């Protein structure tokens, strides 16, 4: 029995004491590999030196930063994914249209509310339609409207702050007091009707803003409170988002106008043109200068008494002194031409020592159209 106990003690000592050096080295190596350092530090691995990225570096690499609200300033893999999206900056005329919309809304909403209203343009950005629907803060009212001439739809979102502010202003709320907000309930019929009237005012201003560029009518189709029922495009389709801020002294809110690129496609060429100031591509100075130069332009007018067709062999055999008989006399009408375009007719005569033509008919309407086409070319 004593001998068996001695053998067990020897085996235990050999397992603990004899391998203590190797066991300590192995524990130190495991500590260095797993728990001995922090994320992002360099350490020796069995196959060489490696580095583990921290969470900030991973977010920067992938381009997913939840703190960013600007959809145009993305980097990394997310920028590659969204590279197919067209930037609104390629449509420079849109800025002029929306600036005009802000001025029109400021005047019309002042008349609508009989209050001091200030409308400001926050930003214009490009966004995918599905991302926008997921980012709408609820509760809100979404107005779906149709652009008749463009044969497509758009979306106008009114947030809850502006809804309660409009209701408070139109129903005689006192100034200097914040609008009462009651969350957790659907909007009443009175609130929806008042917001619908405001949306119609905004759509009329949008029609007037696009008028110098192209005539388009924006007609209200329906009002929705659930974003799922306001789907007017596929979630992956690109759209232009315009954020407007409406302030009525200490009250106000936001209006967001979303136009899919499919809606703007019929007038894309018009939106691509460069502009000067706020004249929608027109310059009054250049127009007056061009008109002045056109009035002083000299043009060659030919008086044709008769025309004859001859074979080329006869023309080549012309000799000096030969006479060509015309099918006209002194009283025959003379046709006045500018190049190959007939202008009018007249009578040939003499004034002083010069041969003159007296115009007897006004310019034909077809001639005016052809001359206008030539000037455009």
Position 146 scores a pLDDT of: 92
pLDDT band of 175, cuts 50, 70, 90: low
- The count of residues in the chain is 377
Residue 66: pLDDT above 60? no
CA distance 242 to 122: 8
Residue 135: pLDDT above 60? yes
Summarize pLDDT for 341-370 with one digit per residue, the tens: 888 888 888 888 888 888 888 876 656 666
Write the secondary structure of the chain as one string of H (helix), E (strand) and C (coil): CHHHHHHHHHHHHHHHHHCHHHHHHHHHHHHHHHHCCCCCCCEEECCEEECCCCHHHHHHHHCCCCCCCCCCCCCHHHHHHHHHCCCHHHCCHHHHHHHHHHHHHHHHHHHHHCCCCEEEEEEEEEEEHHHHHHHCCCCEEEEEEEECCCCEEEEEEEEHHHHHHHHHHHCCCCCCCCCCCCCCCCCCHHHHHHHHHHHHHHHHHHHHHHCCCCCCCEEEEEEECCHHHHCCCCCCCEEEEEEEEEEECCEEEEEEEEEEHHHHHHHHHHHHCCCCCCCCCCCHHHHHHHHHHHHCCCCCCEEECCCCCCCHHHHHCCCCCCCCCCCCCCCCEEEEEECCEEEEEEEEEEECCEEEEEECCCCCHHHHHHHHHHHHC
Position 43 scores a pLDDT of: 41
pLDDT band of 41, cuts 50, 70, 90: very low
Cβ of 237: how many Cβ atoms within 10 Å?
Answer: 14
Residue 124: both structure tokens together: 């214009």
Residue 34: pLDDT above 50? no
Better-predicted residue by pLDDT, 86 or 326: 326
Residue 199: pLDDT above 90? yes
User: What is the average per-residue pLDDT within 180-187?
Assistant: 67
CA distance 353 to 351: 6
CA distance 51 to 296: 78
């Amino acid at each position: 029995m004593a001998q068996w106990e001695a053998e067990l003690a020897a085996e235990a000592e050999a397992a603990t004491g004899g391998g203590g050096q190797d066991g300590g080295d192995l524990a130190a190596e495991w500590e260095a590999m797993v728990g001995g350092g922090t994320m992002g530090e360099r350490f020796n691995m069995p196959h060489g030196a490696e580095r583990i990225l921290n969470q900030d570096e991973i977010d920067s690499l992938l381009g997913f930063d939840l703190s960013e609200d600007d959809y145009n300033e993305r980097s990394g893999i997310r920028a590659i994914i969204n590279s197919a999206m067209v930037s609104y900056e390629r449509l420079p005329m849109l800025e002029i249209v929306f600036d005009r919309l802000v001025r029109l809304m400021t005047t019309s909403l002042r008349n609508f509310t009989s209050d001091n209203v200030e409308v400001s343009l926050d930003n214009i950005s490009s966004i995918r339609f599905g991302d926008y629907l997921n980012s709408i803060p609820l509760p809100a009212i979404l107005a779906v409207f149709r652009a008749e001439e463009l044969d497509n739809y758009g979306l106008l979102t009114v947030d809850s702050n502006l809804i309660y502010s409009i209701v408070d202003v139109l129903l005689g709320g006192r100034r200097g007091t914040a609008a009462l907000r009651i969350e957790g309930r659907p909007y009443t019929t009175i609130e929806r009707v008042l917001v619908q009237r405001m949306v119609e005012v905004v759509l009329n201003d949008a029609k007037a803003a696009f008028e110098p560029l192209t005539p388009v009518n924006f007609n209200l189709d329906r009002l929705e409170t659930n974003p799922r029922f306001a789907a007017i495009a596929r979630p992956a389709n690109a759209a232009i988002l315009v954020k407007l801020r409406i302030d009525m002294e200490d009250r106000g809110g936001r209006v967001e106008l979303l136009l899919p690129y499919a809606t703007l496609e019929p007038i894309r060429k018009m939106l691509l043109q460069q502009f000067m100031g706020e004249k929608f591509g027109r310059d009054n100075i250049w127009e007056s200068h061009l008109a002045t130069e056109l009035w002083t332009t000299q043009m060659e007018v030919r008086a044709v008494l008769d025309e004859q067709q001859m074979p080329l062999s006869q023309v080549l055999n012309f000799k000096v002194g030969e006479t060509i008989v015309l099918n006209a006399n002194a009283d025959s009408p003379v046709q006045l031409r500018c190049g190959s375009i007939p202008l009018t007719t007249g009578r040939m005569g003499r004034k002083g020592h010069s041969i003159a033509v007296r115009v007897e008919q006004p310019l034909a309407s077809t001639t005016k159209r052809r001359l206008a086409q030539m000037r455009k070319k």
